[in-house]
A and B are shown apart, each in its own frame.
Chain A
Amino acid sequence: MEANKNREIIEATRRRLIRTRFLVDAMLSVGIGFLASVLNQQITGGNRLWGLLVAFIAFLILTALHKPWRVSREGIARLLDQQYPSLQESSALLLQSPAELQLLEQLQYHKVTTALSAIQSPLQLNRRLRGPACWLVIMLLAAVVLGLLLPHKVEVNAGSPAKLPPALVKQEAVLPGISGVSISIRPPAYTRHPAREQHNFSLLAETGAVASWELSTGAGVGKVEFIFNDRRHVALQSNGKEHTQWKLEKVIDSTGFYQVSIDGRLSELYTLQTIPDAPPVIGIHLPKQYTIIDYGQPEQVHLRASITDDYGIKEAFIAATIASGSGEAVKFKEQRIPLNGFAPGAQHFEAQQLLALQKMGMKPGDELYFYLQATDYHQQQTRSDIQIVQLPDPAQLMSMDGLANSLTLKPEYFRSQRQIIIETEQLLKDRDTISSSAFESKSNNLGIDQQLLRLRYGKFLGDELSGETEGADGLGDIADFSNADKVRDAFTDHHDNAEDATYLDPQTKKQLRVIINQMWNAELHLRTFTPKEALPFAYKALRLLKDLQQQSRVYVAKTNFKTTPLDPAKRLSGDLSKIKAAHTQKTIVPDTDPQQYVREAIAWLNSMAVKHTPIPDNGRLLQAQMQLQQKAIAQPALYLPAVQAMKRVVSNLQLDQPVAAADILLLQKGLQSMLQMPATLPSAARSGTRVGLSKQYFDHLQQTQP
């Protein structure tokens, strides 16, 4: 009896422990599942039911790890022993039958039985639930907080067809005769938008979409037509003999508005809005618009560009032209280079490409012109700006052509730079055959030559530099600004003063300064026995010198021209008496404000709202109406209500009926939004009547305080 009771207690404890362990796993899985569900919806926009699956999987994993069912009675006995000292490490005895026990064991058995029965709710299993319960609460709270904090991801459908803004959809008045309308819009195939159907007249469609209207009239009517933009009448075809079903199909290629006419009765105006297809946009980030690949640099160009289009790019490539030769013997070679990794149909493409100039067949002295061209599915083409890459020819730089023909005076030391380059190249060739000390001394000597050359230029430029502040830049002196004499001095030549004659213009001096910098670098490398590194700088210096020389070349055609013989008596006498003073008279028609009529009309409407006045006969209302209609064709959503209001106002005025205040307000709003800010013009202040009083006062003041 006692033994049975003991076993029952232990068995009940075992079952309860198993239940508790399952419950703990279930609580943790629910927490994980809830967290996963919230994160899934917020981040990926997916379904919340995924949380259930996650919770189930988590539960399986946790139970597989914990194996809660694997709890034996012996285990329970050990647990009881650990937990309760009063059992005196003897609860295992309780599992045995008292009959099989020895005397001592029996004594202990009874003792333990008493101790066990004294224990209320063995192992305190409820406490084990506290920790997991805390975790569950924390996870639920975290899920709620994350759900509030994370931006809610809205499921975006890239190919969603256009929808009308709600403002346009509502409040559409339909002619009483029309019992139903159905408009199906088929966007062009390349937009990949599905065909759609709508039951209100205001349309928003992709450019090039085909709209087909199906109108049903309650009773048979004679004629149904659409009036587009208040000008073009298009009749609808009737389907049957009853003349109750009417049909029209039209390609929507421009914005505007239309109205329905049934046997002469006109509806209100409905908008026709298009979503235009923008041409592709090309942006070239690399290379720069004009690139020179100097001697020593790798002969390749890194191209980085981005191409974007709203519906997808159909085709994109590099159009390259190589110009080789010079003068009349220039030859052009055109190439079409595909873009690496380009696949048609993408809305955005990042181009990364290396243009190997040699592979493209470029030789020194050639120039490469290239641009990117992209085409979209609407056959709209975009070309980027033309980029120029130049590959200078060192041999050309060595040529002596053109030196003799220079018109303006230039420094005459060009040969020396060329000579230094030749000798440096020779030195590099001889490097293997001469001793290193000879190589170094030769290199150093060349460095000295380069220094001399630089110093000669420097001296030449230095002389000029000291006088530079006298030039145009000196006009910025703050203490002596806007002095006309100084301005004249700066921009005129003093021919009569030999000392003051200037040789070089500022632009030439600037370029010379750059050349000297290059020479400095070349000298540095020659002096440090690295002539190979010196060569790029020497070449650049030479190229710049060559440019300077090229700039001054001017072509003057040979003509037969006889000058009048100069009269030395008159020359430089400064006699201007026979030169007449200039008189000019011009009447300029001021550019009138094209919106003046609208400005006047809006003010007139304002007074109309207070007091009914007859329509003015100067046509300003008509002008305003025309301008408003033009605006409405371009932006129907913005100006159509005003056009409708204008029609009502004008018709009421013509019939000499009162005009609704709401119409006037609507019209004024429309007119006001098309008005631009008037120009600010100076004007005289109005100072009232010139009364004698202030004059007398002023005269009196003058007398007392002269």
Chain B
Amino acid sequence: MISAYWITALACLLLVFLLYKEWKRPLQRRLAARWLATALLVTSLLLLAWPAEQQLTGSTQNVLLTPGFSEDSVANWMRQHGDNVKMFTTDASLLYKNAPLPLLLDFTTFSRMHPHDTLQVFGNGLPASTWKKLAPVPIAFHPPADKRAITDIFWQQQLELGATLLVQGNYDNNGNTAVTIQLDAFGAVKDSVTIAAGRQQPFQLRTVPLHSGNAVYTLRAISGTDTLCAEPLPVAVAAPAPLRLLIISAAPDFENTYLKNHLAGKGFLITMITTVSSNKTDRQYLNTALQQNDPPITADYLSGFDVLLSDPETLKKMNTAALNNVRAAVQNKGLGLLIRMDSTADASSFYTRHFPLQHLPTAAGILALHSTTADSTRIAIKTANRTAIRYRPGVKPLLQDEPGNCYAAAALYGNGFVVATTLQQTYSLALSGNQPAYQQLWATLLRAAAKPVYTEEQWRTEPFFTFQHAPASVVLEKNELAVPLARADSVTLYLQQDEQLPFIWKAVYWPVEAGWQMLPAAQQGGNAWYVYPKNSWQQLINYQHRLASTQYAAVYANVPATTKEARSGWWQHRQFWLLLLFMACCTFLWIEQKLS
């Protein structure tokens, strides 16, 4: 602003001086032309030197203050651009210089009234949904300086006892000091990670929850001794339902026997059919009812199991009808088929064709395996047999050693999974005292194979974070056509069917209280639902508002599009024209002086 005044003043002085010199010249010819040329010369020089982005002073500007704005930055802006501004806010609790501001609530009307007036937005901005309503209004976004925040976060809220809780996220540390992110459970730090100053990087925290039931952990971001945020992290842990397992083998072996005894001891429902001699089988029913008449392997019989554990030799010797039933059960009903591979496996059968074997050089000693799904799982098994499964597209490796050889893999077959492993004598793990590794190994294999549990109806909420005193979408997936009703406390919710997907029903519910509560339809499912306290996860929300605002500001820039079009043509090349005018004036004055 000051520079503009100075330039104008200097130009005026120059003009007066030049005009005076022209007037006082001894030869008084063409005075008017020379004065005109001098005036044009100084004007063109002035316009060339004029600050390019000079705002038109005097017009009123709209300023929107959103949560997180700093009074200093607003005052600083007003010093540069004049204080003829009209201030609004979206949050009634925000004050500017200790005075309340007018609320801007009707965004649609505002956008109709000021389609081309640039809106100066201070603070963290507004959510994307609000920007949609404001759509053509151009904005200039002034985000706050401290942008340290957890920008993304995910964890599994419902876990099974013994499963690992994995918290994954992203942290933007634009500050000058390192920030430690830690996971607290019941007053003890479970895991932590440090983000260096000036870095934006993903983080991962893990722990095995020790509690059973619903609890709230805390995720903290700490810089030095300051706690930047402490956010609730709800975790519900339930004991897993025992699987129903059918083991069929062509000969008795200790591997199956040990596995059977181990799982039966944990309450699993196991039926084991072992061929002991020609046409003689030994049938064991553990935790299940005795069936006297040796039921044949029919589709109906197989539907009572989650996993069938067998080996290629047994399946090869099985009669065709039974094998077809197994195949149909896997393909249509989702029965898991877990195959303990051996060298008799041929590539043609449906259960082995995804798993070509690869014989590695025999090496005695410890085989260190890790799970590809949970990288905390480490299994060191003593074996000389190094037969791996060669990778094929569509096959998911489950257990790999350090060089990447796969020793267990899963392939999708229809609705179910076929899982193959080349590991033999895994019981040696348990017998050598490493019971947890044995449990993890078989948990990995059986979990990959097990028939998924389908519930009659499933409830969920949208979005991931549902806050107290904020609307939450309650979504029901259900196949029946009857109109479902849900009860939340004493309120009955009437659900609306989705137009496109008829099995989806929705309702909007405003939770009154924060904390764990039952999802509206508690009667059937008993799904626990966590409602976050009003001000939790504020940094994440602020970050998302900033992101939405920055994206909106990038699309609807400072200068309205219509004005740009009007000023096309000479305006865009005005510098060139001004220079031309300046040169022309100079040339005229010079030639005139030479000629006279």
Min CB–CB distance A120 → chain B (angstroms): 64
| Residues of chain B with a CB closer than 8 A to A698's CB | 414-415
Q: Closest approach, in angstroms, between the C-beta of A237 and any C-beta of chain B?
A: 42
- CB proximity of A601 to chain B, nearest CB, Å: 9
Min Cβ gap B430→A in Å is: 12
Interface pairs (10), CB distance under 8 Å? A483-B342, A574-B278, A584-B282, A586-B264, A587-B287, A606-B216, A668-B187, A683-B160, A689-B456, A693-B501
A690 interface residue per 8 A CB criterion: yes
Taking A579-B277, A684-B240 as known contacts, 12 extra A-B pairs with beta carbons closer than 8 A to each other, sorted by chain A number, are: A488-B251, A585-B286, A590-B267, A603-B213, A669-B186, A672-B185, A678-B161, A681-B443, A682-B447, A682-B450, A683-B160, A693-B503
Contact, CB under 8 Å: B212 / A596: yes
A interface residue numbers (CB < 8 A to B):
476, 478-484, 487-488, 574, 576, 579, 581-588, 590-591, 596, 599-600, 602-607, 610-611, 665-666, 668-669, 671-673, 675-693, 698
User: Judging by beta carbons under 8 Å apart, are A684 and B251 in contact?
Assistant: no
Which residue of chain B has its CB nearest to the CB of A577?
Answer: B279
Binary CB contact string for chain B from 266 to 287 against chain A (1 if under 8 A, 0 otherwise):
1100000000111111111111
Q: Decide: B186 and A591 in contact? CB cutoff 8 A.
A: no
B343 sits at the interface (CB 8 A)? yes
CB pair B215–A581 under 8 Å, yes or no, is no
Q: Which one of B213, B384, B455 lies within 8 Å of A476 (CB-CB)? A: B384
Given that A665-B187, A688-B477, A689-B454 are known contacts, is A606 also in contact with B215, CB under 8 Å in the complex?
yes
Q: How far is the CB of B133 from chain A (nearest CB, A)?
A: 34
Q: A590, B188: Cβ atoms under 8 Å?
A: no
The interface centre, meaning the residue of A483, A584, A596, A690 with most chain B CB atoms within 10 A of its CB, is A690
Contact with A along B254-273 (1 / 0, CB 8 A): 00000000001111000000
Q: Is the CB of B387 within 8 A of A682?
A: no
Q: Are B240 and A683 in contact (CB under 8 A)?
A: yes
Contact (Cβ within 8 A) B278 A576 = yes
A681: chain B residues at CB < 8 Å are: 160-162, 240, 242, 266, 439, 443
Q: How far is the CA of A672 from the CA of B208 in the complex (A)?
A: 12
Q: How many residue pairs between the two chains, A and B, have CB atoms under 8 Å in the bound complex?
A: 224
Contact of B342 among A481, A587, A591, A672 (CB under 8 A): A481
Q: Is A683 in contact with B454, judged by CB distance below 8 angstroms?
A: no
B358-385 interface (Cβ within 8 A of A):
359-360, 362, 384-385
A488 CB contacts on chain B under 8 angstroms? 251
Q: Give the shortest distance, in Å, between B276 (CB) and chain A (any CB).
A: 8
B48 interface contact, C-beta 8 A: no
Interface assignment of B243: CB less than 8 Å from any CB of chain A = yes
Tell me if B427 counts as interface (CB < 8 A to partner A): no
Q: Beyond A585-B289, A691-B503, is A680–B264 a contact (Cβ under 8 Å)?
A: no
| Whole-angstrom distance between the Cβ of A155 and the nearest chain B Cβ | 36
For the complex, is B250 an interface residue (Cβ under 8 Å from A)? yes
Question: Is A685's CB under 8 angstroms from B161's CB?
Answer: no
CB of A6, distance to nearest CB on chain B (Å): 77
Q: Are B294 and A581 in contact (CB under 8 A)?
A: yes
Q: Which of B444-472 contact A (CB under 8 A)?
A: 444-447, 450-458
- Nearest to B158 among chain A residues (CB) is A686
Question: Which residues on B sit within 8 Å (CB–CB) of A604?
Answer: 213
Q: In this complex, what residue of A is CB-closest to B312?
A: A482
Within 8 A of A (CB), among B290-325: 290, 292, 294, 306, 311, 313
Report the nearest A residue to B251, measured CB to CB: A484
| A605: nearest chain-B partner, CB-CB | B186
A586 touching B285 by the CB < 8 A rule?
Answer: yes
- Given A677-B210, A678-B162, A681-B439, A583 and B283 contact (CB-CB distance below 8 Å): yes
- Is A483 a contact of B344 with CB atoms below 8 Å? yes
Instruction: Let me know if B458 and A669 touch, CB within 8 A.
Output: no
| Cβ contact within 8 Å between B160 and A690 | no
Nearest Cβ in chain B — how far from A667, in angstroms? 9
* One of A583, A585, A602, A686 near B215 (C-beta < 8 A): A602
A302 to chain B, nearest CB (A): 35
- A-B pairs, 9 with minimum CB distance: A683-B240, A603-B213, A590-B267, A682-B446, A687-B452, A482-B342, A668-B186, A599-B212, A585-B290
Q: Could you tell me if A683 and B241 are in contact, using CB atoms closer than 8 angstroms? A: yes
User: Which of A586, A588, A591, A675 sits near B210, CB closer than 8 Å?
Assistant: A675
Complex Cα–Cα for A606 and B235 (A): 11
B109: interface (CB < 8 Å): no
Chain A residue with the shortest CB-CB distance to B336: A684
Main secondary structure of the interface of A (DSSP, over half): mixed
A680 touches B162 (CB 8 A): yes
CB-based contact B453/A691 at 8 Å: no
**CB-contacts of B489-525 with A (<8 A):** 501, 503, 513-516
Q: Which of A482, A588, A606 contacts B265 (CB 8 A)?
A: A588
B177 at the interface (CB under 8 A from A): no
In the complex, residue of chain B having the shortest beta-carbon distance to the beta carbon of A586: B286
> A683 contacts B450, CB within 8 Å?
yes
B478 interfacial by beta-carbon distance below 8 Å: yes
Provide the residues of chain B in CB contact with A587, threshold 8 Å: 286-287
Complex Cα distance, B257 from A584, in Å, reads 13
CB distance from A286 to the nearest CB of B (A): 30
The reply on B147 being an interface residue by CB < 8 A is: no
Please name the residue on chain B nearest to A587 by beta carbon. B287
Contact of B453 among A582, A610, A611, A684 (CB under 8 A): A684
Distance between Cα atoms of A685 and B214 in the complex (Å): 20
Does B205 lie at the interface of the complex (its beta carbon under 8 Å from any beta carbon of A)? Answer: no
B51 — which chain A residues lie within 8 A by C-beta? none
Bound-complex Cα distance A438 to B313 (A): 71
Within 8 Å CB of A603, what residues of B? 211-215, 237
Q: Are A678 and B306 in contact (CB under 8 A)?
A: no
> With the chains together, A476 CA to B215 CA distance in Å?
51
What's the nearest-Cβ distance from chain A to residue B286, in Å?
Answer: 5
Would you call B503 and A584 a contact (CB within 8 A)?
no
Q: Which residues of B contact A669 (CB under 8 A)?
A: 186-188
| B283 pairs with A685, CB closer than 8 A | no
CB contacts (< 8 Å) of A685 on chain B: these are 447, 450, 452-453
The residue that B250 contacts in the complex, of A478, A484, A591, with Cβ under 8 A, is A484
B130-160 interface bits toward A, Cβ cutoff 8 Å, 1 = contact, 0 = none: 0000000000000000000000000000101
Given contacts A483-B344, A682-B442, A683-B243, contact A599 B451 (CB under 8 A): no
| Alpha-carbon distance A670/B154, docked complex (angstroms) | 29
A476 B454 Cβ-Cβ under 8 A: no
Q: Given A675-B210, A688-B477 in contact, is the A479-B241 Cβ separation under 8 Å?
A: no
User: Judging by beta carbons under 8 Å apart, are B503 and A689 in contact?
Assistant: yes
What's the nearest-Cβ distance from chain B to residue A488, in Å?
A: 7
- Asked whether B280 lies within 8 Å of A602 as measured between CB atoms, the reply is no
B453 touching A588 by the CB < 8 A rule? no
**Distance between Cα atoms of A596 and B446 in the complex (Å):** 24
Contact B362 A478 (CB under 8 A): yes
Q: How far is the CB of A161 from chain B (nearest CB, A)?
A: 33
Chain A residues whose C-beta falls within 8 Å of the C-beta of B442 in the assembled complex: 682
Known: A599-B213, A683-B447, A688-B477. A585 touches B454 (CB 8 A): no
B450 CB to closest chain A CB (Å) equals 4
Closest to B217 in A: A606
A549 to B187, CA, bound (A): 69
Q: Is there a chain A Cβ closer than 8 Å to B102's Cβ? A: no
Residue pair A684, B281 in contact (C-beta under 8 Å): no
Residues of A near B514 (CB, < 8 A) are 610
- Check B479 against A690 for contact (C-beta < 8 Å): yes
| Interface-central residue, B160, B424, B436, B450, by most chain A CB under 10 Å | B160
Q: How many Å lie between the Cα of A591 and that of B268 in the bound state?
A: 12
Q: How far is the CA of A679 from the CA of B452 in the complex (A)?
A: 21
For residue B396, CB closer than 8 A to chain A, the reply is no
- Taking a contact as CB atoms closer than 8 A, the residue among B208, B216, B287, B451 that contacts A610 in the complex is B216
Query: Would you call B70 an interface residue if the criterion is a C-beta within 8 Å of the partner chain's C-beta atoms?
Result: no
Chain A residues closer than 8 Å to B266, beta-carbon distance: 590-591, 679, 681
Contact of B186 among A476, A479, A602 (CB under 8 A): A602
Give chain A residues whose Cβ lies under 8 Å from the Cβ of B210. Answer: 599, 602, 672, 675-678
Measured in the bound complex, the distance between the Cα atoms of B516 and A607 in whole Å is 8
Shortest Cβ distance from residue A381 to the other chain B in the assembled complex, whole angstroms: 30
